[in-house]
Copies of this chain bind each other. A is one copy, B any other.
Amino acid sequence: MVRMRTRKNDMNTNKVSKTLLKRLPVYLNYIKTLPEHTESISATKIAKALDLGDVLVRKDLAKVSDGGRRKLGYVREDLIRDIEEFLDVNRTACAVIVGAGKLGQALLDYDGFEKSGLQILAGFDICPGGPRTGGGKPIFPMSRLEAYCRANDVTIGIITVPAEHAQKVCDQLVACDVEAIWNFSPVHLSVPEHVVIQSENLAVSLTALRMQMKNRG
């Protein structure tokens, strides 16, 4: 007998709180990186591992999956699928990286992003050191950026240039009609209203880490 399920992911995610959208990727990553033999997982265990409230996690998961069973928790694979469907990350987006230094090349050659639906096609640099990274990804001069982005339907621009060049590069990527900027330069960037920006600021993370150390010490 086929059990009829209410498809929770038919819900309009626009109506979901921003904070839930921030927590879901964290849950997803935790559940995915559990030891392979793990077959089921409870909200309580997730809450404890991630230092979150039990009730909060229970409610969050109930919003994206109806697979939770009293005492048994969730079947791990089902929960991964439900969260991924809810997040709609299975559609692949194309990105380019501007700044083909060590960090840029490390990101270009990292193969873990494809699981999260991101394909980094190529790197761009003012002075391309070589035609390809060690992993075989092409590196082009900046003059080819716009034509490449338009020809390859690039929607995400990743910035790994030094701080002093970051805003200029950001403006260039916006002019190529990317929808989002993923910024690894340690500087605050301005983008037009319609462009999404997310910054990975390691100095901020580092200070947060040191504050935790101080609070423990």
Contacts and interface: CB of A to CB of B under 8 A. Distances in A.
Interface of A: 13-14, 21-22, 24-26, 28-30, 33-34, 49, 87-89, 93, 101-103, 105-107, 109-110, 112-113, 115-118, 134, 155-156, 163, 179-180, 182, 186-188, 194, 196, 198, 200-217
Contacts of A205: 25, 182, 198, 200
10 contacts: A29-B207, A89-B210, A93-B213, A103-B103, A103-B110, A116-B203, A179-B213, A180-B212, A196-B212, A200-B205
B106 A203 contact: no
A134 B105 CA distance: 14
Given A113-B206, A203-B116, A207-B87, A180 B103 contact: no
Copies of this chain, tallied across the complex: 2
A134 B129 CA distance: 14
A25 to B, nearest CB: 4
A198 B188 contact: no
Contact of A203 (B29, B34, B203): B29
Contact of A14 (B24, B186, B208, B215): B215
Q: Which 6 A-B pairs have the closest CB atoms?
A: A102-B106, A25-B207, A103-B106, A25-B204, A198-B209, A196-B212
A187 B147 CA distance: 37
A51 to B, nearest CB: 10
Interface centre among A14, A24, A113, A203 (most CB of B within 10 A): A203
Contacts of A24: 207, 211
Contact of A206 (B116, B203, B204, B211): B116
A87 B211 contact: yes
A95 to B, nearest CB: 9
